[in-house]
Each structure stands twice: as C-alpha cells, then as structure tokens.
C-alpha cells in the first residue's frame, strides 16, 4: 500500500514535468485563430544565420521551408543541427559554436548555401569541389586529406558518384580521424536494396538523341550498353543520378567502411525549423571507428 500511495503522489509532479518539457516546442506552432500569426505557422530561429523566421509547417519539405534571410532549407539546417549535436552534444546555431570549434578541422563536398561560408568562419572547415580548387575526388582523394578531419559533410553527393560506391564510403572514413563525425544526406528509399542504375559502368558518355539524353557505356569486357530515361538532379544534363540508395543499403555500406554509431535522424527540431513529413531521405550521421 505504501508503494501504491507513493506512486499516486508522484503523478501530479510527473504531469507538471511533462507539461514543462512540452511547452517550449508546442508554443512554437501557433494554432490559435485569434493570433495574428496564421494557424499552423512555425516560428523558429535559423541555425545558419541566427535570424528569426516563420513558415507554414506544411512548407517544411526537405528542400523547402527556406529561411527568409539566408535561404537555408530544412536539409541545410538539419546538417548544422546534427553537426553541432555530434560535436558539442547540443543543437546550436553556427554563431554560437564554442570557441574550441575553431580548432576542429572539417571538410565539405560541394556544399552550397550560406552555411558553408559561416562554417568556414567559425571552424577549421574547407569546402571542396570535384571540378575546381580546392578539389576532392572522393573516389581517389589526395593523401593530404587522409586521417586529417574531425568532421565531413556530404549533402546529396553520393548518389552521383560513379560505381563502385563502396570506394566512396571507404574514402569518407579515410578522411576522418578516429572518432570523427560524418554528417550526410542522400535520397533513399525504405526498400531492402540499393538500386544501381548502371552497375557495369566503365567508359561512358552521355549523348543527346531525338530530344533525350542517352548514356552509352562500354563495359570492362568490351560490351556496349545504352540507357535512356536518365534521371538528372538540377535539370536535364546536369548531375546524373547513378543510384537510389535504400536505408538498409546505406547502413551496410557504412558498416563495411568502418563506421559505428550509425543514426538515421527522423526526429524534428522545431526550434531550428526542422520537420520531416516522410521517413525516407532524412539525414544520417556516423562515427569513424
């Protein structure tokens, strides 16, 4: 009886604690018809530029819900959110990264947006590119890049890397110091297997024929292959999609490359304007083992 009485006495205190925990997050979404803010609007602080923004929750798509000042979308803000969680144990705006962040060496892979500029100011971060300096080919990185970084950011890049993609994952691991952080995004499905569009890709070119793009490949054993209905990101003829990852396939690639503590992040962070309507193509983080 004493135990039951004690449990009953705890209920009001627990209810109060839960209400306190929920209040900050729930207060960000204004659903009151009397409020000057439209119902269903999220008011958040952009963790890239630190400005206060408002956006309809319905507009928080992966590449939408842009900050009115720096144009950072949900995907970009999630990279900053997860990087700070992994490095510092809490979600921070770039401007509030601790002083020791300047001693952390990081690398980006063709990062775009304001976050790349601000990370370079606040940390030892360098953005790299495939076609211009500073150049990084993730299939064959220069030796100076290896085992030299505390974090790597790769956002929607790995789906465009020529096969075998396992080499890219191994080299991502090689870029990092032991315990280094990988934060990345790729489009992925919930299927069991990754789909390689061109599994025997070797020597290839893309031509235009009859108003469409055609990939012509010569395999290692000399056969000629042709592929139509190509998928480009950024418009036709821009960046070719080589594969559609699966979540399970991503985990396998990361594990084989030597990563541990692999996390797929579906949780929202309303304070930073991050919400995922769908369970696929969300950010992933991992630690170099």
pLDDT, tens digit, for every residue of 147-158?
999 999 999 999
CA separation for the pair 54, 67 (Å, rounded): 8
State the Cα–Cα distance between residues 45 and 119, nearest whole angstrom.
17
In 3D space, the residue among 287, 97, 260, 59 whose CA is nearest the CA of residue 183 turns out to be 287
User: Region 199-224: what's the mean pLDDT?
Assistant: 96
Cβ-contact 127, 120 below 8 angstroms: yes
Q: What is the predicted pLDDT for the residue at 5? A: 45
**Phi and psi at residue 200, in whole multiples of 5°?**
-110, 25
Question: Which tens digits make up the pLDDT trace of 59-71?
Answer: 999 999 999 999 9
Torsions phi, psi of 66, nearest 5? -70, 145
Q: What are phi and psi of 159, to 5 degrees?
A: -70, -10
DSSP bridge pairs for 45: 52
pTM of the entire structure?
A: 0.86
Cα–Cα distance between 250 and 284 in angstroms, integer? Answer: 9
> For a pLDDT cut of 90, what percent of the chain falls above it?
83
> What pLDDT is stored for residue 8 in this prediction?
40
List the single range of 4-8, 79-83, 194-198, 279-283 with lowest mean pLDDT: 4-8
Residues 197, 213 contacting (CB under 8 angstroms): no
User: How do the domains of the chain map onto residue ranges?
Assistant: 43-188+243-288, 198-240
Q: Strands 188-189, 239-240: parallel, antiparallel or unpaired by DSSP?
A: unpaired
Superfamily of domain 43-188+243-288: Vaccinia Virus protein VP39 (3.40.50.150)
Q: Give yes or no for a contact between 41 and 55, defined as CB atoms under 8 angstroms apart.
A: yes
Q: 162 Cβ partners below 8 Å, 6+ apart?
A: 139, 201, 242
Mean of the per-residue pLDDT values of the chain? 90
pLDDT given at position 113: 77
Could you give the CA distance from residue 233 to residue 16 in angstroms, rounded to a whole number? 49
**Please, what's the b/e burial string for 47-86 (b: 16 or more CB within 10 A of its CB; e: otherwise)?**
bbbeeebebebeebebeebbbeebebbbbbbbbbbbbbbb
Q: Higher-confidence residue: 251 or 20?
A: 251
What pLDDT, in 10s, does the model give residues 95-143?
999 999 999 999 999 998 799 999 999 999 999 999 899 999 999 999 9
- Give the C-alpha separation, 242 to 198, whole Å: 7
Starting at the edge strand that comes first in sequence, how are the strands of the sheet with 224-227 ordered?
203-209, 212-218, 224-227
pLDDT tens per residue, range 72-104 = 999 999 999 999 999 999 999 999 999 999 999
Task: Classify strands 149-155 and 259-264 as parallel, antiparallel or unpaired.
Answer: unpaired
pLDDT at 18: 32
- Cα–Cα distances (Å) from 233 to 132, 195, 265, in that order, read 20, 17, 23
pLDDT digits 0-9 by tens, 18-65? 333 333 433 455 444 445 778 899 999 999 999 999 999 999 999 999
Q: What percentage of residues in the chain have a pLDDT greater than 70?
A: 87
**pLDDT score at 28:** 52
Can you give the pLDDT at residue 143? Answer: 97
């Amino acid at each position: 009886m004493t135990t039951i009485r004690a449990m009953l006495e705890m209920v009001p205190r627990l209810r109060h604690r839960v209400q306190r925990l929920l209040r900050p997050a729930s207060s960000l979404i204004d659903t009151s018809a009397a409020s000057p803010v439209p119902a269903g609007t999220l008011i958040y602080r952009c963790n890239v530029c630190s400005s206060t923004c408002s956006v309809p929750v319905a507009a928080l798509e992966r590449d939408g819900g842009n900050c009115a000042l720096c144009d950072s979308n949900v995907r970009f803000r999630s990279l900053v959110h997860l990087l700070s969680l992994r490095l510092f144990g809490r979600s921070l705006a770039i401007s509030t990264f601790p002083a020791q962040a300047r001693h952390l060496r990081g690398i980006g892979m063709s990062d775009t947006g304001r976050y790349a500029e601000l990370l370079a100011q606040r940390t030892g971060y360098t953005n790299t590119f495939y076609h211009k300096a500073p150049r990084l080919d993730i299939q064959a990185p220069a030796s100076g890049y290896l085992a030299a970084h505390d974090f790597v950011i790769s956002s929607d890049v790995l789906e465009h890397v020529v096969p075998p993609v396992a080499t890219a994952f191994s080299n991502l691991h090689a870029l990092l110091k032991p315990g280094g952080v990988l934060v990345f995004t790729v489009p992925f499905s919930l299927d069991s297997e990754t789909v390689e569009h061109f599994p025997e890709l070797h020597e290839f070119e893309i031509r235009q024929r009859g108003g469409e793009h055609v990939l012509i490949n010569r395999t290692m054993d000399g056969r000629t292959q042709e592929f139509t209905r190509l998928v480009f990101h950024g418009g036709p003829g821009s960046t070719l999609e080589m594969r559609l990852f699966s979540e399970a396939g991503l985990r396998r690639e990361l594990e084989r490359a030597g990563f541990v503590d692999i996390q797929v992040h579906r949780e929202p962070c309303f304070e930073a304007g991050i919400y995922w309507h769908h369970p696929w193509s969300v950010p992933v983080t991992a630690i170099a083992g």
